[in-house]
Structure 1
Amino acid sequence: MNTKIILIVDDEETTRQGLKKTLEGWSAGRFEILSAADGHEALELFKRTRVNLLITDICMPEMTGLALLKNIRNQGYKPAVMIVSGYPDFEYAQEAIRLGVLNYLVKPLRKESLIKAIEEALDTEEHMIRADYLEKVADQGLLELEAKKEYVNSSVKQAIAYVNKNIPEQISLKEVADAVHLNASYFSAMFKERTSITFSEYLTRKRLQLAKKLLITTDLPIDEVARQAGYQTAKYFIKLFKDSEGVTPSKYRKLTELDETPI
């Protein structure tokens, strides 16, 4: 995975350089620490690089920390954000919370509190990234299918629940039909009529959706991802995944780690 970047924005040079030195010592090369003297300089850095954590002063000339945050949000940037201020201000804090700021620290900063807040912010940012990916790769058709209210208490709803409960296992159409007390041929035709896809297609898409989630959110080996997604052999799973997504599961995982959209 690319080195995470922390950006410090503060118009007070002594504070800015002090923070940078502190974080470089704590980071020991794990993160890249950048700094900017004002909001305009910070915006230019956002255009050139992916910032994972923004630590900004709130009171700066020309562009306040909150104005900077509004700017980057409007431009689609989604870093984790911490605000530092020379004094507590309830209205500033309220606005900061509304804009999604994770922490509001008051100067002078204690090193222990600062480091703890940064570690928590970076952890939150990692979860935000994964949530974004999961939303990006979600099978919207499946989500809409499963959310249809007309399936409530129907055989289709029961079948979907059965699949969700037993997805790591080998599931056959007849097994599901038996579980919802229907003839297999009738169940197959009824499922296609109600959902516009075959049961086999639904099951495959469901398994692949789970596999993508596991690839993004865990470090499980590919054969274990295959097993949890209901495939007996990793070889078959890899072939099916590549046919569907255009890349192997390993390549897919690597692309998400590099913050690239899978092919």
Structure 2
Amino acid sequence: MSILIIDDDFESSVKIKEILKQSRHSDIKILEANNAADGLKIAKENRPFIVVTELSLKDFNGIEVGKKILSESNATFIIAISQLKMFELVQQAINNGFSGFYLKPVVKNEFLTTIDRLILSNPIINKQEASFILSDNKSGEFEADMSKPIKTAIEYIHLNYFEVINLKDIAEKVYLSPSHFSRMFKEVTDTNFIEFLTQVRIEKSKYFLKSTAMPIEVIAHNIGFSSATYFATTFKKSQGKTPREYRSLYMKLDSN
């Protein structure tokens, strides 16, 4: 996956690159062009997932650049940037299917919120990105050890908590009957399977609430909850606060 920056403002390009490299999306390949002609050529050859384009390029109108890229690839998202605070530009960007508009200098949190939203809303990218972003095991590999079935099950949960997981399926993976697996799991972890899985998901959600600006409903979906309402209810029962209250608390601590 790649992001193409089309901007003839060197300082602006550097800032956007720094924002991406210092974020959890540091693995994304960054492509660059300082004019529209090169940008269109790179976009055609590489099919970037996201294109960030200045609207006032010296050799071409940025709106037209975005329109051309979108006409050639329905899998590319366009984010517009500009120094001009003009409602007409925002309106043009929206009307032409752009996914975001930011005034320079780009604000880190706002920009990353849009990157998060685009990545996590894409059904093709989503599963691959989830295995990389949402898992502690960056290799995404799962190795079953049949001599240690509960250890294997716990490892599987940590790798796949964002998927639909049930006791029967995991019991089958470790070659145990559901009832025997359930008893062994409780003996080893001192909790039942559902409670353990829920707590893993809650701990993952706490990281995203503290360190990203992703909407709560997006977080809920991407950690395996069937709905944002169910996530909020479960989170409050576990932490004594709603997800929104928890996020607000850490925002206040960061601002002090």
TM normalised by structure 2 equals: 0.46
- Larger gyration radius, structure 1 or structure 2: 1
